[in-house]
Amino acid sequence: MFGQILVNFLFASAIVSCGAYFLSWRDNDVMRKVGRSFMLVVFGGLCVVLGMLVYNIFQHDFSYYYVYNYSNTELSAPLLFATSYAGQEGSFMLWTFLVSLIGVCMLPYVRRVGYESHFMSFYTLALIFLLLMMVAKSPFQFVWEHFASDPNVYTGFEPQNGRGLNPLLHNLWITIHPPILFTGFAAMTVPFAFAMAGLARREYTQWIRVSLPWTLFGTAVLGFGIMLGGFWAYETLGWGGFWAWDPVENSSLIPWLVCVALVHTMLTQKQTGGLVKTNFFLAVSAFILVLYSTFLTRSGVLGDTSVHSFVDPGMFAYILLIGTMIVFGVLGFGMIFRRIGELGKGAADFKLNSREFIIGIGSMLTLISAGIVLFGTSYPLFSELIVHTKVAMQVSFYNTSHLLLAILIGVVNAVSMLVNWKVTGKALFFKRLRLPLIMAIAATALVVAFGWQDIPYVLLAFASFLSLFVNLDLLIRLIASRPDKIGAYVSHIGIAALFLGVIATSRYSVLDHARLVQDEPTEVLGMTLTYQGKREIDKQFKDREKYEYLVKVQKNGGEGVVKPILYWSDYNQRKSAFLEPGINRTFVQDVYVSPKAVEIQGSSPTAAVHKFEETPFPFDSNVVVTLQRFDMTSAMQGGGPDLRMGVELTFDTPDSTWSEVIYSTRTVDNLWRYEPYQVPGTGYYVALREIKPDRSNLANSEAVLSFADIDRAETLEREVFSVEVSTKPFINLVWIGVILMVAGFGVAIVRRVKELEPRGKKPANPVGAAKPMPQVHDAPSFESESSGDESEAGKA
Amino acid sequence: MKAKYLIGGLIVTVFVVIGLISLDGGTIAYSDIQTARSTPGFVKVKGSWIKENGADYDSEHDIFTFHMRDSTDHMIKVVHNGPRPNNFELAESIVVEGRIENDILQSRHILTKCPSKYEGNTMRDPSAYAPAAGEGNSES
């Protein structure tokens, strides 16, 4: 109750904050203080709201529908925390919270750069819409409110346990991936608000400078979040790969690609004064695309085309999401259109051999990629609207188009690093190109010799190598003298490594199906795989049975063990197992083993016996067993749902006679798990398979025994573990690539933040004025020099 | 200045053309079972697993077999190359990508649409979650 009221109050506070900030545009300090105070109220309130939700979850207060629906008492603390955003309501809350958190962090910054009023006006406007969504989708609804039509659920009803979290989500990644992704999403609000502030203040250049570090931050975080999702899919979910062009993946990729382009066009404007309109357009687009992404993934419109779960959020949220997109679209693009006449002034003329032109081409290619993904992802939606049949995009659509795009991006990146801003001489360009080109050709020849034969992939490999060596060359020259400037090179090396990793894993992965009989080495893909048996893990949890299936992988003398997992959970009443892959990692390649099924092979002869009946062993009549009594003492002690029962058997051999109690456990699902007993001095086994009680006369109950002989293979019941085995050559390049890329962004952020700090005034070079390019080391730096040449051309 | 736009325009044109070419064969339509029967190529069929008919995985041939029913109440046998998909029992609906040959839907991909929660107007088996046992009918 209190939670809902607080959310409503915060919504109202955001409106007040936004309104006050708008009123403070004409330097009204009082209004600015009001806006700021209410912004802090919103942030503080969201902390409380989030804290309340987390508290309810940790208290297992299942009278709250959200808590009941996503958590249960069996979840560990990190997973309990993760349930606070596992559901739709919670994920909106996390997003809103992060937007407010970033907003509060921005406050001192925007005050320092003198953008507070305008920036915060638009920033809080975005908060209003997010809070409105929270008003509509509150995580503080009670179960009896949700199940209002169910007479069994009366007011005050508190379920004893919750529904829990899908076992596929029970891992570390759910605690990391969504918060990082949402931080990236939330950070996209910043360039948008700066762009709007720039338009409002008619400052078409300054906003680039102040917004650049934050745009870099958002791009880095979002990129990292996307990669973590890919890693999760690969490592745990067993999708076989890290990227499947699934709508959910695509929908976060689209704004990211736009942001990557934006980072480059912002740099270009900062350096040359050009691309003013482009930057406004892209900053607004990135934000709208984040909203669109949310709409695609949260409204359920693409429900049938994605592996992710969606739930219809209801008509109100659906309309609200569309409404938000329209409002910000009209506002953003409308503002640009209103100022369009002023924006064109002073646009620089790019020379074909200038860096700005090549970067422009690169940004365009990135935007084309975004456009293709946007088109493909939205296609089912529009095909349904227009021709009333739902049509989905196949993976081949994205792969085909991106193969060529990636080749061009690789080459363009290499070239852009070799040319200077403004203009570059031919001789200089070729001189810089020579070494990296030779190395790229050599490396490409090497991979061709190793068997990469498809021409498009060879071309992509060449483009990636060229980009790699060009950037590496420059990185080595710069790292000692200007380590603060290496960000771009590190990022581009990362992208090149990513491309190479993608070629290797996607094109040169091999795959086979194998049935691994326990303890029998099996040849698969030139490796020897041996299934060695299973081991139960996570035993402390009562709601699951989780087994690691140990498979030994031997190849070329090397050896490793992979541990795919079969996970039986109460979540689906243990009807079938959740499957997680096992991965044998080496630097060169991963061996990826996806479990498929487990069966029992072989059958041992059985015999139904009653008390005092003598039964000879089926394959050796010299050994005779007699059932003496039923032993239920273990069953009394356990207390759990499983019953461990035993029978005392007498063994008679020509040499001796002895007694032994053998056991079997009946599980809740009426499955018997038996503990075979080896007859000493022989290879014979006997096991209690089942006890069939005679309810009228318990003494007359029947025990089913089974017999096995180690020399008769057909009597040995062995598990057959069916798996899909694939190799993932150089998949590490994918992860390393993305991490380098993010690290490069990190370096760049530090540099751009430092640039903003006031220091000794340098004479500003007006744009267009020719100035000598510094030719230290003969290497072009990504920025020609310090930030002194900021163009003010666009300023009205 | 002219060359700049020329090059840019050229690149965009090339990719629009490439996009349109990849579109052909890059798309796959959703259809019901009846329409799929008369479609020679691959389609996506949405429906649900007919639980009564069971489901079986043959590890020897790596084939998973079951029957599905679509919204128009048509039924078809599905043969999938691969194991039982994760969340198969929980799925409220499944989307099978494949083509129909000899009245068998030969699947190459199965999407299980798992509700990450149970959405409905009544609580699923509220007795399982009830605080006080023994109230009313305790036999379940």
How do residues A379-412 score in pLDDT, each as one tens digit?
888 887 777 777 888 888 898 889 999 999 999 9
Q: Which region among A527-541, A769-783, B71-85 has the lowest average model confidence (pLDDT)? A: A769-783
Judging contacts by C-beta atoms under 8 Å, the chain A residues touching residue B84 are 576, 596-597
Interface test with A, best of B86, B111, B135 (most A CBs within 10 A): B86
Per the model's pLDDT, the better-predicted residue between B6 and A369 turns out to be A369
Comparing C-alpha atoms, which of A380, A98, A373 is closest to residue A257? A373
Q: Which value, to the nearest 10 degrees, does the dihedral of the CA atoms of residues A209, A214, A218, A220 take?
A: 80
Average pLDDT of span A631-654: 76
Question: Which residue from B minimizes the CA distance to A150?
Answer: B122
A394 belongs to a structural domain: no
The pLDDT-based confidence of A307 (bands split at 50, 70, 90) is low
Alpha carbons A233 and A246: distance in angstroms, whole number: 11
One-letter amino acid for residue A478 of the chain: L
Note the pLDDT tens digit of each residue in A98-134.
999 999 999 999 999 999 999 999 999 999 999 998 9
Within-domain flag for A339: no
Q: In what order do the strands lie in the sheet with A677-678?
A: A606-609, A702-709, A684-692, A677-678
Percent of chain A past pLDDT 70, that is, above it, reads 91
Strand partners for A547 = A536, A566
Say which residue, A625 or A682, is predicted with more confidence: A625
User: CA of A750, closest CA in chain B: separation in Å?
Assistant: 33
The residue of chain A with its CA nearest to that of B86 is: A578
Domain boundary among A146, A165, A184: A165
pLDDT tens by residue, A167-207: 878 888 889 999 999 999 999 999 999 999 999 999 999 99
DSSP string, A725-739: EEEEETHHHHHHHHH
* pLDDT one-digit tens code per residue, A4-47: 899 999 999 999 999 999 999 988 899 999 999 999 999 999 99
pLDDT digits (tens, 9 = 90+) for B24-44: 777 888 888 988 888 888 888
Q: Is the pLDDT of residue A768 over 50?
A: no
In a domain, A611, yes or no: yes
Kindly state the average pLDDT of the residues A660-671. 77
Opening angle at CA A771, ends A770 and A776, nearest 5: 145
Domain boundary among A716, A733, A760: A716
Residues of B in contact with A379 (CB under 8 A): 27
Q: Give A391→chain B minimum CA distance, Å.
A: 4
Higher-confidence position of A595 and A311: A595
Q: Identify the closest residue of chain A to B110 by CA–CA distance.
A: A307
* Count: domains in chain A: 2
Q: Nearest Cα to A688, choosing from A656, A636, A643? A: A643
Strands B93-101 and B63-69: unpaired
- What pLDDT shows up at residue A782? 44
Q: With cut-offs at 50, 70 and 90, classify the pLDDT of residue A700.
A: confident
Question: Residue A617: which pLDDT band, with cuts at 50, 70 and 90?
Answer: confident
> What distances in angstroms separate CA A617 from CA A16, A193, A606, A614, A684, one per listed residue?
87, 83, 10, 10, 9
How far does B16 lie from chain A, in Å, by closest CA? Answer: 9
Pairing of strands B27-31, B43-49: parallel
The reply to whether A549 touches chain B by the CB within 8 Å rule is no
Chain A, nearest residue to B81 by Cα: A513
User: Per-residue pLDDT for A546 more than 80?
Assistant: yes
Q: Is residue A372 part of a domain?
A: no
By C-alpha distance, which of A511, A503, A539 is closest to A527? A511
B126/A159 Cβ within 8 A: yes
Closest of A411, A433, A419 to residue A495, by C-alpha: A411
Query: Quick one: pLDDT at residue B21?
Result: 78
ipTM of the complex: 0.77
Contacts with A597 (C-beta within 8 Å, 6 or more apart), sequence order: A722, B57, B59, B83, B84
pLDDT at residue A491, rounded to an integer: 96
What domains appear along chain B, each with residue ranges and CATH number?
33-113 (2.40.50.140)
Interface test with A, best of B2, B6, B23, B51 (most A CBs within 10 A): B23
A85: tokens are 């955003």
Give the lowest-confidence range in A140-149, A198-207, A328-337, B127-136: B127-136
CA torsion angle for B11, A491, A353, A419 (degrees, to 10)? -160
Which tens digit of pLDDT belongs to each residue from A468-511? 999 999 999 998 888 888 999 999 999 999 999 999 998 889 98
Percent of chain B with pLDDT over 90: 14
A703-726 per-position pLDDT tens digit:
888 888 888 777 777 888 989 999
Output the six-digit token pair for A714.
């057909």
DSSP A87: S
Asked whether residue A639 is assigned to any structural domain, the reply reads: yes
A445 found inside a domain: no
Of the residues A165, A188, A216, which one is the last residue of a structural domain?
A165
Contact B44 A304 (CB under 8 A): yes
CA angle, corner A466, sides to A465 and A470, nearest 5? 115
Name the range with the highest mean pLDDT among A97-111, A301-315, B53-67.
A97-111
- What is the Cα–Cα distance from A352 to A419, expressed in whole angstroms? 10
Among residues 709-728 of chain A, which lie with CB inside 8 Å of chain B?
720, 722, 724
Half-sphere exposure of A572 (CA within 13 A, CB side): 20
In a domain, A309, yes or no: no
For the cut 60, the answer to whether the pLDDT of residue A337 exceeds it is: yes
Predicted pLDDT of residue A773: 40
Is the pLDDT at B138 greater than 70, yes or no? no
Spell out a b/e string for A137-175, using b for 16 or more CB atoms within 10 Å of the CB, else e: bbbbbbbbebbeebeebeeebbbebbbbbbbbbbbebbb
φ and ψ at A600, to 5 degrees? -105, 130
User: What DSSP string describes A444-506?
Assistant: HHHHHHTT---HHHHHHHHHHHHHHHHHHHHHHHHHTT-GGG-HHHHHHHHHHHHHHHHIIII
Best residue in A309, A408, A599 for a mutation probing chain B (most B CBs within 10 Å): A309
A389 touches chain B (CB under 8 A): yes
Task: Residue A69: give the domain boundaries.
Answer: 1-165
| Residue A540 placed within a domain | no
